[in-house]
Amino acid sequence: MKFKHSIKTAYRGLEQNRARSLLTILGIVIGVTAIILVMSLGQGAQDLILDQVKGMGTRTIIVGGGREPAGVSDAGQIFSDSLKKRDLEALERKENTPSIKYVMPLVFGVADARYANDTFNLTIYGVSSLMEKIFDMPMKTGAFFTEEDVRARAKYVVIGNKVKNELFGADDALGKIIKMKGHNFRVVGVLSERGQDFFNFDEAAIIPYTTAQDYVLGIKHFNRFITEAASEALINDAAEEIKLTLRESHDLTGTAKDDFFVVTQVDLAGRLSSITSVLTIFLAAVAAISLIVGGIGIMNIMLVSVTERTKEIGLRKALGATYKNILTQFLLEAVMLTGMGGLVGILLGAFLSWAIATTITNFTNIAWTFTFPVSAAILGIVVSGAIGLIFGLYPARTAANKSPIDALRYE
């Protein structure tokens, strides 16, 4: 029997039980759809995160207090008090860090901002006037505070666009007084809407770091230093200068472990990319379990089909069909089922991914892009076909091994 004829015979066998065939491939459809959905959304999330990281500037270097977190158990390192004023002064000296353009201290916390009868929970960032340059923060109204305001511990605040809308509505916010942590702050500026970013400045209050330390957070240390190298070519030199300067400032010698960590934008992008990739693969592997369940379902249905078509098998063998002909027919039926399920799953997964990406973009400020995972689609088709072969082999061999005489007598 020609292979082309085997395909036609297998197709007719599936067409005779359309409803059962459609229900049989449902597990495969769900599994492949889930894989495409997870891989597509995972790639979209990765692209979004990396774009936001790159938006901070390719020359940006972040210095954090405490040992660099290596897992969930190290999450408390963000509260380390190892970065002090003497460290800031040491890093600002050009003889220590000639490859660095500038250094900005950063402290942060959360608080409720109150105006009249309205309250909004926001993130407080205590920074210097360099913040406006580092993060390219266009003002909607007003102006950023100055270095003189930082030295004077002025109770001035620049608020995000959403904070302004929540507390003041359509009214002008400039010059108004909001209360945070029991202190009054005068609004001197409102940021233009930025959308969801690595730092969500739309829902933030930005104040001088000296003010934040003394009046809001009650601390003497810094959470981070945000530095910028003089040029991209000097990033590695700048990172090394920071490490040497802080080790000297902290009297760290020999094998003593650093109580700080230095991360460049390249490092950060690579690490975030690795994290999102691992999470995506893990979720895709979980979704792939349904493919195994679908394969078992197909094997069960094929066994039922073999039993129901016992007489047909006996008749075909009596007319000259060989063991190979029967085996090929039932294997093809299983592969065609899983193949169709894989194809439908890819199309459905792509559509759902596109719909979700479009919804996120249209109804939020997140610039989410739709990405079709070609590798996942190819993998879905290959795995679907493999499942058809693996789980269809036993029913096909069962059919091929039937005796034509016994099969013709079957009732």
pLDDT tens digits for range 260-287: 888 877 666 566 666 677 777 777 777 6
**Is 171 or 393 the better-scoring residue by pLDDT?**
171
Same domain flag for 353 and 245: no
Same domain flag for 278 and 375: yes
What domain count does the chain have?
A: 2
Three-state SS at 238? helix
Same domain flag for 161 and 236: yes
Same domain flag for 36 and 143: no
Buried b (16+ CB within 10 A) or exposed e, 349-380: bbebbeebbeebeeeeeeebebbebeebbebb
pLDDT at residue 186 above 90?
Answer: yes
Residue 265 lies in a domain: no
Separation of alpha carbons 200 and 195, rounded Å: 7
Same domain flag for 225 and 92: yes
Residue 333 lies in a domain: yes
Residue 58 lies in a domain: no
Residue 57 lies in a domain: no
Q: Rounded mean pLDDT of 300-323?
A: 69
Cα 32–chain centre separation: 20
Handedness of CA 144, 149, 151, 157 (dihedral sign): negative
Query: 313: exposed, middle or buried (C-beta count within 10 Å: 0-12, 13-18, 19+)?
Result: buried
Same domain flag for 325 and 301: yes
Residue 142 lies in a domain: yes
Residue 68 lies in a domain: no
What does the mean pLDDT of the chain come to? 79
pLDDT of residue 108: 93
Q: Containing H/E element for 334?
A: helix 323-363
Q: Rounded mean pLDDT of 40-46?
A: 77
pLDDT at residue 55 above 60?
Answer: no
Residue 95 lies in a domain: yes
pLDDT of residue 292: 75
pLDDT of residue 204: 93
* Cβ atoms of residues 299 and 349 within 8 Å: no
pLDDT of residue 49: 66
Separation of alpha carbons 229 and 223, rounded Å: 20
Let me know the angle formed at the C-alpha of 269 by 129 and 77, rounded to the nearest 5 degrees.
70
pLDDT at residue 73 above 50?
Answer: no
pLDDT in tens, 123-151: 999 999 988 888 778 889 999 999 999 99
pLDDT in tens, 196-233: 656 788 899 999 999 999 999 999 999 999 988 888 78
Same domain flag for 313 and 198: no
Same domain flag for 111 and 7: no
Nearest to 104 by CA among 68, 62, 139, 156: 62
Last-in-domain residue among 196, 231, 258: 258
Same domain flag for 175 and 236: yes
pLDDT in tens, 237-247: 888 899 999 99
Residue 122 lies in a domain: yes
Give the lowest-confidence range in 108-117, 228-237, 348-357: 228-237
pLDDT of residue 75: 47
Same domain flag for 230 and 299: no
pLDDT of residue 384: 78
Query: 251: exposed, middle or buried (C-beta count within 10 Å: 0-12, 13-18, 19+)?
Result: exposed
Could you tell me the pLDDT band of residue 164, with boundaries at 50, 70 and 90?
very high
Q: Rounded mean pLDDT of 36-46?
A: 79
Same domain flag for 137 and 243: yes
Same domain flag for 383 and 350: yes
Separation of alpha carbons 260 and 249, rounded Å: 11
Q: Max Cα separation, the chain?
A: 102
Domain coverage including residue 161: 81-258
Could you tell me the pLDDT band of residue 72, with boundaries at 50, 70 and 90?
very low
